[in-house]
Amino acid sequence: MLSAKSLFKEILDNDEAFRLFCSIAASGESQGGWENGRIAALVPPGERALAPKIARHGADEDKHGRIFTALMKKRGLTPVAVPPETDYTMLLERHGIGLAHDKLRRDEPLTERDIVVYLSHSRVTEQRAAEQMALLFGHFAGHPEVGRALRMISDDEDDHLAYTHEELLRLAAAGHGRLIQRTLRECALAEIRVHRDVSLAVMARMGRILGWSRARYALLAAGIHAVYAYERLAGWRRMVTLRMPERRDPLGGPATPAPEFA
């Protein structure tokens, strides 16, 4: 039977598949760490109070990258180059989602509008990350190799998602509500397309490594397309709603270290 649990177990049990999975994850997290670090350094004067939270977000992402790298190292594996068609972060930038890297490389302060764009992009992508990590943690919480890592990353992603809700609601109250809703919708619709394309590319790579039949891959691809169809029709709306989180100021302190992994 095909399920998220059975598919991830296949990946866990195969060194080459696990190496590809961790390499893709580590690369994306490290890229997110760099982006948040640059944004924290360039926040406009009126948003300086946000800089430590953005820096904390970046530190968490860097930590996650180190965790995935450490999981490979424990098996004696080294990272592999990330195939371009599986590079979620790069593909989002190509679709114009978030702040362009050339802007972040310049030492010019961002604008308040840039901060709205950054937080809206983060709101959408952190929704995806939180859901995926919660799913994996729900199935593999007790796994001796990855259980602790999944718990730590899942907890962090929940905090990141809560932080974006809180900050966007603050900016909406300050008069940016229409811009936020428009930007959230644009980000969500672009993200679901990128997620579909990356999912298909990753499954194709995994299928070759794990020796899946054409019929099995076709069934998985059909499932990915079905999820996309649902998200394109209505599921994207969960990515654009805003509500005050139960835990306030979730990124108000220092990043949690991960000495057992890094």
Q: What percent of the chain has pLDDT over 70?
A: 95
User: How would you class 242 by CB atoms within 10 Å of its CB: exposed for 0-12, middle for 13-18, buried for 19 or more?
Assistant: middle
The confidence score (pLDDT) of residue 84 equals 96
CATH number of 4-239: 1.20.1260
For residue 244, give the nearest of 148, 144, 178, 173 by alpha carbon: 173
pLDDT classification of 19: cutoffs 50, 70, 90: very high
pLDDT above 90: residue 26: yes
How is 123-180 classified by DSSP, letter by letter? HHHHHHHHHHHHHHHHHHTT-TTTHHHHHHHHHHHHHHHHHHHHHHHHHIIIIIHHHH
Q: Within 10 Å of residue 144's Cβ, how many Cβ atoms?
A: 7
Per-residue pLDDT reduced to its tens digit, 62-90: 999 999 999 999 999 999 999 999 999 99
- Return all residues near 208 (Cβ < 8 A) that are at least 6 apart: none
For residue 261, give the nearest of 128, 5, 91, 62 by alpha carbon: 62
Per-residue pLDDT reduced to its tens digit, 137-187: 999 999 999 999 999 999 999 999 999 999 999 999 999 999 999 999 999
Of the ranges 1-5, 96-100, 172-176, which is most confident?
A: 172-176
**What is the average pLDDT value for the chain, to the nearest integer?**
94
- Return all residues near 16 (Cβ < 8 A) that are at least 6 apart: 209
The confidence score (pLDDT) of residue 4 equals 82
The confidence score (pLDDT) of residue 260 equals 52
DSSP code at position 110: P
Q: Give yes or no for a contact between 181 and 115, defined as CB atoms under 8 angstroms apart.
A: no
- Return all residues near 186 (Cβ < 8 A) that are at least 6 apart: 97
What is the model's pTM? 0.93
For residue 179, give the nearest of 21, 187, 150 by alpha carbon: 187
Mean pLDDT score, 11-37: 96
Per-residue pLDDT reduced to its tens digit, 101-131: 999 999 899 999 999 999 999 999 999 999 9
pLDDT classification of 262: cutoffs 50, 70, 90: very low
The confidence score (pLDDT) of residue 257 equals 66
- Which residue's structure tokens are 């997290």? 29
pLDDT above 80: residue 1: no
- Return all residues near 115 (Cβ < 8 A) that are at least 6 apart: 39, 43, 44, 47, 50, 171
